[in-house]
Structure 1
C-alpha cells in the first residue's frame, strides 16, 4: 500500500506529515461541537438517522447518482435504473456499517466482503469476493490505472494486517488510508466507491471519534465535489508525502463538513423544523 516507509506503525508515521496534525485537531473540534450540542442529549437517535440518510445521498452522488435529499427520503423503490440501484446500495451500506464494528478489528476482509455483498446484491456470482484475474471493474468515475488481481490480494492482506495489529495513528489517518486504499485498488468488480466510503464510516465509528455516526464524511466529500475528490485520490495513489498529506487533509475537511451538516440538523431539531 502507499505509505511513507516501512516502520513498526506506518499509519502513525503518516500523522507527522505536513498539515495532518492540524487537520486532526480541526476534525476533533468539529466533532466535539456536534456532540456538545444540547439536542444530542435528547435526540441523538434522530440526528444519527438524518446523518445516515444524508451520508448515503452524498456517497451515491459521488458514484454518479446525484439525487436531491428529498428524493432519497421520498423514494421506496430503488430498483428502477442504475442511479436508483446506486442510491439503494448506499442506503443499505449506511445501515450495515454500524453492525460490523465488532468484526472489523478481527477480520477486516470479512467486513469488506460483507459490504460488497450488501452493495451489489443485485449482481452476479462475483459479489462478496475480490476480483480475479481477467475480471473487469465497473467503476467509470475513477480512471486511475487498475492494479492486477494479484496486487489487489497482496495489498488487501497488508491493509488487513495493519488494522488487526492496531495503530496509534489518529482515527482520521486510519480512515483516510482505508478509504484511499480501497479506491486505489478497486478490489471488487463493482460498487468500490460506495464500499470504500462505507469502510471509512466503519473506522470513524469504531475508533470512537464518531461513535454515534453523526458526522457523515460522505456529505463532505460530495460537497467538496467529485473533481477535488479525484484530485486528492491521485495524491494518495502517488505515494508521495505531499500526496498522502493532501488526501488525508481532504478527508479531514470532508468530516468537518459532515459535522457542520449535523450541527445544522441539531439546530433545525431545536427549532422544531426537522
Structure 2
C-alpha cells in the first residue's frame, strides 16, 4: 500500500461535513442495531438483508424484476446475477483487506458468469483498468486510520465509474461496499441494506456518481456527503426494522 493512497483517503475523510455526516450515519446504524435487538438476530434476517440488497442492486443495474419475483427465483437475468453474488458475498469479507484483487476478481466472476466468456471473467478490460483496480485494492487494504464508511464509499464510486470489468461493474461496486461495512465492523451481521439506500435516492445516487467521475474534488466531496445519507437510509431499510 502506498502512503499516497492513505494520505488521499485521510484527506477525503476530513473534508467539510464528511466527518460529521459519517459519524451521524454510524450512530444511526449503531442505534438501530442496538434498539432492535441485535443479539437476537437470526441468520434469516441477514439472508433477508442480502436478498433486499441484491434486488436493489439489480434494479440499479437495469433489472425490471419485482422484489417478490427475486424472492421467488423468477426474476430476470440481472437479478439472478445479483442474487448469485449475494449468496456467497459474506464468505469473502475476511479476505477483502488481505487479498482485495482476488475478491474483486471473484465477485465479477460470479456476477458475470452467464453473460461473458470465461476468459473475460474477473479480468480487467485493459491495462488502464488493471492499474485502476490496483489502486482500488490499495484503498481496500488501508488500516483503521481511515474510517470504514469512507473506504466503502470511495471503493464503490471508483469501481462504478472506472468500470474496470467487461460487465456488472455496478453490482460489483455495491457488493464491495457492503463487504467493507461488514469486514470493518460497521455492520458485522450485514443487516443494513446500503443498496436500498441508493435505490431509494436513485436520482441523487446517479447524479453524484457522475459528479465523482466528472466533477473533480468538488464531485468527490459531494459523493461522500451523499454516501453518508445513503448509509443512513440503508439502516432504515434493514429487515431488523420490520414489524
Higher Cα Rg, which structure: 1
Deviation at 1:102, TM superposition (A): 2.2
Distance 1:8 1:240, change over 3 A: same
Match of 2:104 in 1: 112
Which 4+ residue blocks in structure 1 deviate beyond 6 angstroms? none
Distance 1:219 1:38, change over 3 A: closer
Richer in helix (by share): 2
Q: 1:172 aligns with which of 122, 125, 149?
A: 149
Bigger RCO (CA 8 Å, 6+ sep):
1
Matches within 5 A, 1:109-258: 109-122=101-114, 123-125=116-118, 126-131=120-125, 149-225=126-202, 227-238=203-214, 240-258=216-234
Deviates more, 1:196-205 or 1:166-175: 166-175
Match of 1:81 in 2: none
Contact 1:182–1:192 under 8 Å retained in 2 = yes
Point out where structure 2 has 5 or more consecutive residues left out of the alignment.
Answer: none
Q: 2:95 aligns with which of 93, 96, 103?
A: 103
Matches within 5 A, 1:13-162: 13-74=11-72, 76-77=73-74, 84-122=76-114, 123-125=116-118, 126-131=120-125, 149-162=126-139
Deviation at 1:239, TM superposition (A): 5.8
Deviation at 1:178, TM superposition (A): 0.5
Contact 1:27–1:253 under 8 Å retained in 2 = yes
Root-mean-square deviation (CA, aligned residues, Å) is 1.9
Question: Take 2:87 and 2:225, find their aligned partners in 1: how far apart are those partners?
Answer: 26
Deviation at 1:202, TM superposition (A): 0.9
Contact 1:89–1:119 under 8 Å retained in 2 = yes
TM-score (norm 1): 0.81
Deviation at 1:14, TM superposition (A): 0.6
Contact 2:61–2:78 under 8 Å retained in 1 = yes
Contact 1:92–1:119 under 8 Å retained in 2 = yes
Point out where structure 1 has 5 or more consecutive residues left out of the alignment.
Answer: 79-83, 132-148, 270-274
